[in-house]
C-alpha cells in the first residue's frame, strides 16, 4: 500500500496518510510502499522504514506478551489449589496444607509442567533469528 509520512507542523507529531491529498498543504511528505503502516517510523531524526531487526524485536515482544497471557489463563484454572495451600500455611496449619498438596498433587504437577513449557517457549521465542522462524512458533500447550 502507498503511504505518505510526514511531521505535522502544528502538532510536531509523526503522521501517516493513505492518500496524498490528506497531507496538509505545504508539508513535505515521504512516499512509501509498504505492507503495513506500522513498518514506517520516525526515529527522532528521520522518517524511515523499520529494519528487519526492529521488526523481529517487536514481534518477539508481541509473542512473549501473547505467551504470558496464555500461560496466565492456563494457570488461573488451578489457582484455587495454590490459594488453599497458601491459606493453610498462613494460618500455621501445616497438616491441612500437606493434605491439600496430596489431594491436588495432579494439579500441582500440571502447574509445574505448564511453567516448564512456558520457559521453553520463552527461550524458543528469544532464540528465533528470523520473522519466519518466529511466526512458526505456535503458542499452544499440550
Check pLDDT > 90 for residue 142: no
Among the listed residues 50, 48, 9, the one whose alpha carbon sits nearest the alpha carbon of residue 31 = 48
pLDDT of 92-109, one tens digit each? 999 999 999 999 999 999
DSSP assignment of 6-25: EE-TTT--EEEESSGGGSPT
CB atoms within 10 A of CB 81: 19
User: Which single residue is written with the C-alpha cell 492456563?
Assistant: 74
Mean pLDDT calculated for residue range 46-63: 97
Contacts of 55 by beta carbon, 8 Å cutoff, 6+ apart: 39, 131
Rounded to two decimals, what is the model's pTM? 0.82
Check pLDDT > 90 for residue 115: yes
The Cα–Cα gap between 19 and 107 comes to: 56
pLDDT class for 19, splitting at 50, 70, 90? very high
Domain edges within the chain: 2-50, 53-135
Query: What is the reported pLDDT for 110?
Result: 98
pLDDT class for 114, splitting at 50, 70, 90? very high
Bridge-based pairing of strands 40-42 and 47-49 is antiparallel
Amino acid at each position: 500500500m502507498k503511504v505518505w509520512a510526514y511531521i505535522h507542523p502544528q502538532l510536531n507529531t509523526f503522521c501517516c496518510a493513505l492518500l496524498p491529498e490528506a497531507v496538509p498543504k505545504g508539508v513535505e511528505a515521504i512516499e512509501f510502499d509498504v505492507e503495513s503502516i506500522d513498518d514506517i517510523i520516525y526515529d527522532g531524526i528521520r522518517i524511515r522504514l523499520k529494519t528487519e531487526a526492529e521488526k523481529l524485536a517487536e514481534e518477539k515482544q508481541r509473542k512473549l506478551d501473547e505467551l504470558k497471557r496464555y500461560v496466565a489463563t492456563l494457570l488461573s484454572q488451578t489457582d484455587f489449589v495454590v490459594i488453599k495451600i497458601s491459606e493453610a500455611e498462613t494460618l500455621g496449619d501445616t497438616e491441612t496444607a500437606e493434605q491439600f498438596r496430596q489431594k491436588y498433587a495432579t494439579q500441582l504437577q500440571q502447574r509445574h509442567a505448564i511453567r516448564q513449557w512456558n520457559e521453553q517457549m520463552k527461550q524458543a521465542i528469544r532464540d528465533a533469528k528470523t520473522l519466519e522462524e518466529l511466526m512458526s512458533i505456535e503458542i499452544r500447550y499440550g
